[in-house]
Amino acid sequence: MPERAAPKRAAAEPGAPEPRSPGIVLGFDFGQRRIGVACGESVSRTASPLGIVPVGSQGPRWDAIDALMRAWRPSSVVVGLPYSVDGSESAVTGAARRFAREFGARYKTSVQLVDERYSSLEAETRLKEARESGLRKRRVAKADVDATAACIIVERWLTKTT
């Protein structure tokens, strides 16, 4: 997963929280095996897929999320909430809510929940069109779909909030 170079800044007091980067949004497409990750920017209202965080029997790889939080220092975090087509909740919806609560508690930050219905379908369509147009050379993997779905979740949130 790509990381950006951290800007140079004065040393903080030990134990002091990391300053947040204004306008940076990290988005997560929660899944039982993979969590897609994207980064957005509130001024341009654009987002880019970053990759995935694996989920194992013990839950998400929090060390990978720690690295993302250190690298991007987001001012906002959004998690997709997977509803059924009819708008009802499922077992995965509850798991996504638990992930968001744990995320907020771990990083002492507010986590916004976004309806992610059809985000994976939209991601597959975007990636397929990019491949057909020649913009994308390699085949589309499930991880690509998850990261692009996270991108769509961030874009939806940015559209509603800015």
- Could you read off the pLDDT tens digit of each residue along the chain, which spans 162 residues? 444 444 443 444 444 455 667 799 999 999 999 999 999 999 889 999 999 999 999 999 999 999 999 999 999 999 999 998 899 998 899 999 999 999 999 999 999 999 999 999 999 899 988 888 877 777 778 999 999 999 999 999 999 875
- Please give the Cα distance from 12 to 15 (Å, whole number): 8
Write out the two tokens for 75: 């001012």
Residue 19 confidence (pLDDT): 61
Q: Is there a domain that residue 5 lies in?
A: no
* DSSP E strand boundaries for 16-109: 21-29, 34-41, 46-56, 59-60, 74-81
Q: Is there a domain that residue 77 lies in?
A: yes
CATH number for position 156: 3.30.420.140
Q: How many CB atoms lie within 10 A of CB 101?
A: 12
Residue 29's nearest CA partner among 107, 123, 105, 101 is: 123
Domain encompassing residue 149? 22-161
Question: How many separate domains does the chain show?
Answer: 1
> Could you read off the pLDDT of 5-31 as tens digits, one per residue?
444 434 444 444 556 677 999 999 999
